[in-house]
Amino acid sequence: MLRLTEGEKHYLLEMRALSTDAEGNDIFVGLTSDESERYHFLSNPLRHGAPEENEEYLALNQKHELARHQVLAAEHIKRTESSTQH
Q: Which amino acid is at 55?
A: E
Is residue 80 one of the residues assigned to a domain?
Answer: yes
Beta-carbon neighbour count of residue 23 at 10 Å? 8
Q: Is 26 inside any structural domain?
A: yes
pTM of the model: 0.86
User: Is position 61 within any domain?
Assistant: yes
The predicted-structure confidence for 13-57, as pLDDT tens digits, reads as follows 999 999 999 999 999 999 999 999 999 999 988 888 888 999 999
The Cα–Cα gap between 28 and 17 comes to 6
Does residue 1 fall inside a structural domain?
A: no
Tally of domains in the chain? 1
The answer to whether residue 44 sits within a structural domain is: yes
What residue numbers bound the domain in which 26 lies? 6-84
Percent helix / strand / coil, the chain, rounded to 5: 60, 5, 30
Residue 47 located in a structural domain: yes
Check residue 86 and give its pLDDT. Answer: 59
Average pLDDT over residues 64-68: 98
Evaluate whether residue 14 is within a structural domain: yes
**Is 60 a member of any domain?**
yes
